[in-house]
Amino acid sequence: MRHGARRLLTLLLAVILTAGAAGVEAQSSVADVLARAAALSQAGQHAQAYALLAAEEDTHIGEIAFDYALGRAALNAGRPDRATLAFARVLALDPGHAGARIDMGRAYLALGNRAQARAVFEALLDLDPPPALRAQLLVYLGEAREARRAGSAARGYLSVFGGTSSNVNQAPGQSQVFVPGLVAVLQLADQNVRMHDTFTGVSGGIEAAMPLDRRVSLIGGAEFLGRFNTHESAFDVGGIAANAGLGWVGQRHVVRGQLQLVRSTLGGSTSREVRALSLDFAETSAAPGTLGTLFGFLHAGGYRHPPADLRIFDADFVLVGAGANMPIDQYSTASVALSAGGDNDRGGNPSGDRSGLGLRLAWERLLGPKLRLAALVGVQESRYHGFDPAFLAQRDDRRTDLESFLRYELTPKLELRIGVLRSVQESNIPIYEFRRTDWTLTLRRQFD
């Protein structure tokens, strides 16, 4: 009996080890096939890449990474009919697979099915994707509408909102501040101490893309915002922003270069003007063997303040960053971004030039067919290079923003959003510290 049990245990262990080895071998096999197919695609040999993957279809059918690679290879090789089958298998297992949804739309375009392609791209745009991806989707949507509108596409939105803020003027909570350089206590004016108020507002925007050829498009957009406090009208905020430039769309990437202009108002008067050049790129599908898609950006320009008492804050700036969007499961996605940059003082700011690092984390989960939950965390560390003679210190700030909101789809183009934003700025110079909590209810309508 003892020898029989030992033989049974030995046999069972052998079966487990054999199965494990087979699993490792299979995983290694599919990784090797995908790597070889990727190399062929990068060399422009799309037909050969498709043939290689098609030969392995019976072995690896139903594996998301394989089916997605097969679909892309089929699409690039001029077989959109086979591509739709592969993408359908991917979406059956992972309905939130953004790459497969985009490429399914491209396959419909290649098949001449513009109605279905348009439905795919409009549904993706309704999910409020990142700016670079949104620009690419607008280009594809323009192609889907080509028969009616000469290839151009435009979308807009209008929002009305209301809420409450614990600190509409982003000011310190205490009215007295000790100033070491003066060896005195400074009494802040009432308008420089935290104020609570309710608010209402309206915002809207439009963005458009017009293809110049198969890869390059003219892109542009404009947005406006007006937020009005119930009592503290001196701290009403508003603004208008415009951007225009060129976008380039590749098989897996989109690149945009734009000129950006922003004018902000405070209390009804212009408070800041921004002129900047921006360059950003994004992957629209993950490379084989990676967990998500990458993106990056570079912004350079200047802040200018028309009011004489604000000109000390004039500065030129540069900001560069990179990050990744990652699927967690079929219902959740996450993204992470790191940034670095600084300001070159142009107005005589007593704090001097600034350098800083930033981190941003975002997460979104589909709770139901019409309900989404999102959360964002942003941390910005700033170090100023000048020595402030009044406070006998070099200024160091840390700003933390925590935001969470629910999005509910009332109709395919109408959304209700409730959110909370908590902002905390800590500083070794107390007049720059503040804490703020905003609750907002927003109704947003999309337009094509």
Count other Cβ atoms within 10 Å, centred on residue 211.
21
128 phi-psi bin (left φ>0, alpha ψ -120 to 50, beta other): left
pLDDT tier at 378, thresholds 50, 70, 90: very high
pTM of the model: 0.76
- The per-residue pLDDT for 159 is 97
Which of 121, 189, 251, 196 has its CA nearest to residue 435? 196
DSSP 8-class letter at 172: -
| Amino acid identity for residue 284 in this structure | T
405 strand-pairing partners: 374, 419
> E strand or H helix at 323, and its extent?
strand 315-327
On the question of pLDDT at 274 being above 50, the answer is yes
Handedness of CA 116, 293, 241, 399 (dihedral sign): positive
Where in 183-291 does DSSP place strands (E)? 184-187, 197-211, 216-229, 237-249, 253-266, 269-283
CA distance linking residue 116 with residue 105, whole number of Å: 7
Residues 6+ apart with CB under 8 A from 50: 70, 73, 74, 76, 77, 79, 82
Give a three-class secondary structure readout of 360-420: EEEEEEEEECCEEEEEEEEEEEEEEEEEECCCCEEEEEEEEEEEEEEEEEEECCEEEEEEE
33-125 fold: 1.25.40
On the question of pLDDT at 20 being above 50, the answer is no
CA distance linking residue 89 with residue 65, whole number of Å: 11
Q: Which of 83-92, 112-121, 146-155, 193-202 has the lowest mean pLDDT?
A: 146-155
On the question of pLDDT at 2 being above 60, the answer is no
| The token pair that represents 61 in the structure block | 């059918």
For tokens 């898609």, name the residue.
Answer: 293
On the question of pLDDT at 173 being above 90, the answer is no
pLDDT tier at 214, thresholds 50, 70, 90: confident
Spell out the domain ranges in the chain.
33-125, 153-447
153-447 fold: Porin (2.40.160)
Write down the mean pLDDT value for the chain.
84
On the question of pLDDT at 189 being above 60, the answer is yes
Residues 6+ apart with CB under 8 A from 377: 360, 361, 362, 400, 401, 402, 403
CA distance linking residue 242 with residue 264, whole number of Å: 12
Q: At what angle do helices 114-125 and 98-110 cross, to 10 degrees?
A: 150
- The per-residue pLDDT for 124 is 81
CB 172 within 8 A of CB 434: yes
CA distance linking residue 70 with residue 52, whole number of Å: 9
Question: Under DSSP, is residue 110 helix (H, G, I), strand (E, B) or coil?
Answer: helix
pLDDT digits (tens, 9 = 90+) for 122-141: 888 877 777 777 777 877 88
